[in-house]
Amino acid sequence: MTETESKWDEKLKRFFKDYYWNEILQLANEYPDQRSLGVDFTDIEKYDRELSKEFLEHPGELIQAAEAALKEIDLPVEKSLEQAHVRIIKIPNRISIRELRSKHLSRFVAIEGMIRKATEVRPRITKAAFQCLRCGHLTVVEQNSFKFEEPFAGCENDTCGKKGPFKVMIEDSTFIDAQKLQIQESPENLKGGSQPQSLEVDSEDDLTGNVTPGDRVIINGVLKSRQRTLKDGKSTFYDLVIEANSIEHLDKDYDELEITAEDEEQILELSRDPVIYDKIVGSIAPSIYGYEDIKEALALQLFSGVVKNLPDGSRIRGDIHVMLVGDPGIAKSQLLRYVVKLSPRGVFTSGRSASASGLTAAAVKDDLNDGRWTIEGGALVMADMGIAAVDEMDKMKTEDKSALHEAMEQQTISIAKAGIIATLKSRCALLGAANPKYGRFDRYEGLAEQINMPPALLSRFDLIFVLLDTPNHALDSRIANHIIQSHYAGELFEQRQKLPGSQITEEHVEAEMEVIEPVIEAEIMRKYVAYARKNVYPVMESDARSHLINFYTGLRKTGESKDTPVPVTARQLEALVRLSEASARVRLSNIITLEDAERTVKIVMNCLKNVGIDPDTGALDADILASGTSMSQRNKIKNLKDIIKKLSERHPGKEGAPLEEVYTEAESKHGIDRIHAEEYIKKMKQGGDLLSPDQNHIRLVN
């Protein structure tokens, strides 16, 4: 026993008996399956302030002393806690990664962040037994964390004394499970433009295998340094690493947002306001004029529906996916950025610069250790339990878009690469923005034809909004006034801040800023959303259930006849339920009322009228989103196939049907003009249904 251990031994034993006797008995009963005693740092402070100070300043020695004291405690059961650990949680010394300095070395610190990488759990040798191959004598050498050491002084057998060769005897050596992690700053805590900083973490024994990339955690441990090694020697610079003593999970309850008693009182007071919906809509991007229906939908996305874990093991997502499609220059990107700012956990990325692995997850060569493969979480993993905003989704590569299917519906991300088969969580809502292929949106064309995105992906969005930039004198005047007012207020603020002799008063700035200030401040709004998602789990009233059922079945009834399209699918009904739950959460109510159901029906119908209507017939058609082809288009394609078949029989030979005759007959018999006929034929060629032997003929693939 060292001098430090003996100094604190009796005090630590008394502390364990006074504060943790029941927990020690439970540990003894479950040992060795359970090997750790969790100790709250506040209990140490209550017991002895000097002892708590020693733990922060000399953690290595004090943790060793605590574990030695734990082993020496007399137990009423015949068990020895030889390999038991003392895990200390709720360390007050919480420091962000970018604020770590040399003064923190060898101190007990708490680092909050998100796990970015995690290596496999592998055994690390702690005592190596070397056998001398000359005389067979065993020499046991303690191994430190970083370097494997052989007994270079020579064999301990006096009659031998040679320096080798030696062989490591695995069965006589001692191993411990070890895992390397990388923790980085959470995206929502970053200031604009700054790159998230990361820190390596060494975890051992029962701390291993408990976290995956994307998990929000607090790592409590001792900050250490390691010297960098260069090709031509050792560097004077050292890398920081934290040797983990305990890991606290923040996943479920937004613990990183501290909601005080005053905050809670303010949140509850807001929820009782009869115009709370208008206030929340007014707090989303107030610098952008209008778009009340879209802002209302984004508010519901922030609050989210309720996740259901059913008895059969299946899970129904509660997150609401929203897509904004429209003309350039109508503030889609600003809306995305503002929602990410309001979300308790949010990540913003652009489809143009993001790859599939950057969005979902990747298996990469491990730069933490010795070149092994590790899993690295992408944007959707980092936004777990929050919102992932992806701008310019139409610019993504095809293979990258297909990676989103599983993340959106099952809310998991599967990795199968380099021998690693793993599933990560991506329980986030997706907020996407896309521009039409040809610059501006054509309301007389289907959505799938105008956006460079697969219909199967589009159908997974609960709400799709089309934002059109159409000239309207009255509306344009209001928008222009709002934009000029925003700039004017910004100019006043900047001049007052930057010019010492400015005549502009603070009252003047505040008066002009009023028009663009949110009704509810961003910080309290974030806490309001986190509080609602953490504490409110609404249940639907019978009136609300009946309203949703009647709306859904009423729409479906219009598609019963043979010649009418299917107007909506069960996906739209599930979207209605999620939106109704979010609507109740907005006012912190545990009951979903008829008013909530009516509000969500109105939002969904606005979306369906924009994106789910067949431009040829004016009828609601679910296939427009699900397959990209409406019923009327399918009928026209069928008619074109019949024409090509008949003309091919009329012109026997390898060439097939003459294209000009196909166009003429399509227009005269079925009213399909040449432009649309060419488009349908192009679509059939891409689908592999047609072949062109030359430029003037076409034939069906048998």
Q: From residue 657, how far is each of 441, 635, 637, 639 by CA, in Å?
A: 35, 20, 16, 14
* DSSP summary character for residue 197: P
Cα 522 off chain centre by: 21
| Count, residues in the chain | 702
* Separation between Cα atoms, residue 195 and residue 481, nearest integer Å: 37
Cβ-count burial of 48 within 10 angstroms (0-12 exposed, 13-18 middle, 19+ buried)?
A: middle
Strands (E), 41-121: 85-89, 108-118
Question: 657-658 and 361-365 as β-strands: parallel, antiparallel, unpaired?
Answer: unpaired
Contacts of 96 (CB under 8 A, 6+ apart): 111, 112, 185, 189
368 is written with which tokens?
């933490």
469, 459, 383: which is closest to 426 by C-alpha?
A: 383
What is the per-residue pLDDT for 565? 55
Query: How many Cβ atoms from other residues are within 10 Å of residue 506's Cβ?
Result: 9
* Separation between Cα atoms, residue 201 and residue 242, nearest integer Å: 5
What is the per-residue pLDDT for 252? 55
469, 405, 404, 482: which is closest to 442 by C-alpha?
A: 469
257, 127, 182: which is closest to 522 by C-alpha?
A: 257
Strands (E), 42-154: 85-89, 108-118, 122-132, 138-142
* Separation between Cα atoms, residue 182 and residue 214, nearest integer Å: 11
pTM tops 0.75, yes or no: no
Residue 323's φ and ψ, nearest 5 degrees, are -125, 130
Taking the CA atoms of 497, 502, 506 and 507 in sequence, report the sign of the dihedral they define: negative
Angle at the Cα of 322 from the Cα atoms of 318 and 324, rounded to 5 degrees: 175
Furthest CA-CA distance within the chain: 108
Taking the CA atoms of 347, 353, 354 and 358 in sequence, report the sign of the dihedral they define: negative
250, 242, 218, 215: which is closest to 115 by C-alpha?
A: 215
Per the listing, tokens 């919480």 go with 94
319, 290, 281, 322: which is closest to 303 by C-alpha?
A: 319
Are 666 and 677 in contact, with CB atoms under 8 Å apart?
A: yes
410 is written with which tokens?
């099952």
364, 9, 55: which is closest to 221 by C-alpha?
A: 55
Peptide bond into 123 cis (omega under 30): no
* Separation between Cα atoms, residue 681 and residue 8, nearest integer Å: 85
Residue 330's φ and ψ, nearest 5 degrees, are -115, 30
431 is written with which tokens?
């907020």
Per the listing, tokens 């060569």 go with 365
What is the per-residue pLDDT for 193? 52
Cβ-count burial of 658 within 10 angstroms (0-12 exposed, 13-18 middle, 19+ buried)?
A: middle
* DSSP summary character for residue 26: H
The stretches in the chain having pLDDT less than 50 are: none
Q: From residue 87, how far is each of 19, 42, 316 by CA, in Å?
A: 15, 13, 36
What is the per-residue pLDDT for 457? 79
In the chain, count H helices and then E strands. 25, 26
Q: From residue 424, how far is each of 154, 344, 412 by CA, in Å?
A: 49, 20, 6
What Rg, from alpha-carbon coordinates, does the chain have?
33
